[in-house]
Structure formats: structure tokens, C-alpha cells
């Protein structure tokens, strides 16, 4: 039978109704893909709004049980924990204390919801008096090798407390191997590592530094975080971390680095995460609050783009909003 000739393709045939669009949609998005970040503050009772991140709060330990229940109801099954400790020192010792703020938080969350996946961020910046991600040498520079045993000790402490996943964000060379060895030696060989493998020095971290009180007291972090102009190094960092024992790798931030997410996804055979960071969140929220954009649609479009680029896991402050919006449409 002779094929009918047409002067142009009818691409709109598959866009005509919502059901047709859903049937042929290539990229899926669900709460199972989300990790929700939590800021837990020592000495705080209840919740305290984060001014630069509308809709986000710091949580006291007494607020965590209710938080776990809300996340369970929304279908969000994973959290990434950041701590604001009761004290800071030159080496960040509160980060690996048995009664550290994140260690306490993990125990409470696990009691409230044993199936909630708890991910412990491993970095010294929130716990050091100088705000850098590693300890300092005598000349004030971050000492890579001297920081490794401290990061490994923090990882073991978090695993001991019940963290399901360890997520090093410090960007010290060799930290994945050091952490893997320490976890294995302490009986945590089954605890996976999610490496912040391609973490770029970025202007989009500003609101987070207010939320976590982790702004460096001097200088910046460009000496250890990746240069945003370089793409190939991101692949090398991801492959290096996998060789050292990482079970998953992350790209951070997400939106300015969608090309990196795609490249990493194509290069590795482990799950790839992307962090939709605080600055990305706050810009969208500010525009939505002013009526400049449709916030609900922009959130959905943003998260879909990150998934489409290749992220298996999305760490995002928008997780609750997206889930509520989906529920309201049912």
C-alpha cells in the first residue's frame, strides 16, 4: 500500500489531551526520586524560619518526629541532614561527637520512621570555628591529608548513629578511600557512600551558608571546590571517587551544570544524584512570591529538567511543594 504523502509532520497529534501527553512522556518524576534537606540546630525548640530560603526552617530535635510524619505522608522517603552544633572549634570535633546534633537527629528520625533513609553530610565547615571544610595548616591553608582521618571519623560516628548513607561534601582528595576504609574497619561495610564528586565553587550556595552558619571566616573554597569553567575534570573526579569506593556520585549545583549531569550519567554505571541548591531554590521562590512566574509550574519544570539531564536522585528543597501540588491535582 502506497504511503500517504504529507507536506509536514503532525507532532501535535500526541499533545492533544492530557492523557495522550502522559502516555508518551519520556521523563518520569515522583517522590521516590527526592531527597529533602534538613537543618537541625542544637538548643532550638520547634522551628525557626530561614530568612533567605522562604518556606524552609531550621529544626530543633523536638520538631523531628512531626517532620518525619509529614514526609511519610507526602511520600518523601529520604532526607539529607546538616547540623548546627552547640559549639565549634578549630578541628570541628562536634561533627564526630557521639552526642553530636546530627547523631541525635538520626536516632530520633529512625525511631519515628525506621524506613526513612537518612543521609549524613560529611564536611567540617559547619563545625569548625573558621568555616572551612578541612583543618588548617600553620600557614592558614586547608590541609588536605590532615583532614582525612577527621572526615573518616565523622563518617563512622554518623554510621554508628544509624545513618543509612554517608555523603562526603568536603572535596578533599582521597577522602572516599579513607572513609571507605574506616567504615569497613568499624563494621559498616554495608553502608554506601554518596560522594559529592563534582561539587563546583558556586555563587548559588549563599542562602545555604546562612542556613547552616557555615560561611568561611576568611578566603573562599575555590582551592578545593571545582572550577565551574571545567567540565572534563568533573568526569575525572566522579571516576576517581568510584575507584576509591563511592557507590553513588553527585553533581552540585544542578541547574548551571545540567550538561555535567548528562556527561556524568553517560560515563558511569552507578546512580547519579544532583543537588538543586539553595540559591536555585531561593531565586525561584522570590520570583514566584512576586507573581513574576507560576511557581508551581516552574518547580515541576525545574525538577523535570534535572531528571531529564540524567539524575536518578534529586536533592531539593522543593520536594514538599512538588508533592503537595501533585496531591492537589488528584
Catalytic residues: 199, 252
User: CA 317 to CA 313: how far, in whole Å?
Assistant: 13
**Residue 324: alpha-carbon gap to chain centroid:** 20
- State how far the alpha carbon of 104 is from the alpha carbons of 61, 94, 175, 316, in Å: 8, 12, 24, 23
Cell of 58: 531550621
Q: Who contacts 201 (Cβ-Cβ below 8 Å, separation ≥6)?
A: 220, 221, 222, 225, 226, 227, 228
User: CA 285 to CA 262: how far, in whole Å?
Assistant: 26
User: CA 171 to CA 223: how far, in whole Å?
Assistant: 10
Amino acid at each position: 500500500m502506497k504511503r500517504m504523502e504529507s507536506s509536514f509532520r503532525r507532532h501535535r497529534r500526541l499533545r492533544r489531551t492530557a492523557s495522550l501527553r502522559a502516555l508518551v512522556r519520556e521523563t518520569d518524576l515522583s517522590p521516590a526520586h527526592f531527597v529533602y534537606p534538613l537543618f537541625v540546630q542544637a538548643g532550638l525548640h520547634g522551628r525557626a524560619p530561614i530568612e533567605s530560603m522562604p518556606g524552609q526552617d531550621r529544626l530543633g530535635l523536638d520538631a523531628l518526629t512531626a517532620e518525619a510524619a509529614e514526609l511519610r505522608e507526602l511520600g518523601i522517603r529520604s532526607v539529607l541532614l546538616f547540623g548546627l552544633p552547640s559549639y565549634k572549634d578549630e578541628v570541628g570535633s562536634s561533627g564526630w561527637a557521639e552526642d553530636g546534633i546530627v547523631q541525635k537527629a538520626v536516632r530520633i528520625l529512625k525511631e519515628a520512621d525506621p524506613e526513612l533513609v537518612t543521609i549524613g553530610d560529611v564536611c567540617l565547615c559547619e563545625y569548625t570555628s573558621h568555616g572551612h571544610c578541612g583543618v588548617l595548616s600553620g600557614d592558614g591553608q586547608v590541609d588536605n591529608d590532615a583532614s582525612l582521618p577527621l572526615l573518616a571519623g565523622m563518617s563512622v560516628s554518623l554510621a554508628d548513629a544509624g545513618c543509612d548513607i554517608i555523603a562526603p561534601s568536603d572535596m578533599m582528595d582521597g577522602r572516599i578511600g579513607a572513609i571507605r576504609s574506616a567504615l569497613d574497619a568499624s563494621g559498616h561495610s554495608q553502608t554506601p557512600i554518596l560522594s559529592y564528586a563534582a561539587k563546583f565553587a558556586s555563587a548559588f550556595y549563599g542562602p545555604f551558608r546562612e542556613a547552616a552558619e557555615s560561611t568561611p571566616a576568611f578566603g573562599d573554597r575555590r582551592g578545593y571546590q571545582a572550577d565551574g569553567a571545567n567540565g572534563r575534570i568533573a568526569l575525572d573526579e566522579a571516576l576517581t571517587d568510584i575507584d576509591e569506593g563511592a557507590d553513588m556520585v553527585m553533581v552540585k549545583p544542578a541547574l548551571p551544570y545540567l550538561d555535567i549531569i548528562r556527561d556524568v550519567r553517560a560515563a558511569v554505571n552507578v546512580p547519579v544524584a544532583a543537588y538543586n541548591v539553595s540559591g536555585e531554590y531561593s531565586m525561584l521562590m522570590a520570583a514566584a512570591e512576586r507573581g513574576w512566574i507560576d511557581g508551581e509550574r516552574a518547580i515541576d519544570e525545574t525538577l523535570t529538567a534535572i531528571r531529564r539531564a540524567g539524575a536518578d536522585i534529586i536533592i531539593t528543597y522543593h520536594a514538599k511543594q512538588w508533592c503537595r501540588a501533585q496531591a492537589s491535582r488528584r
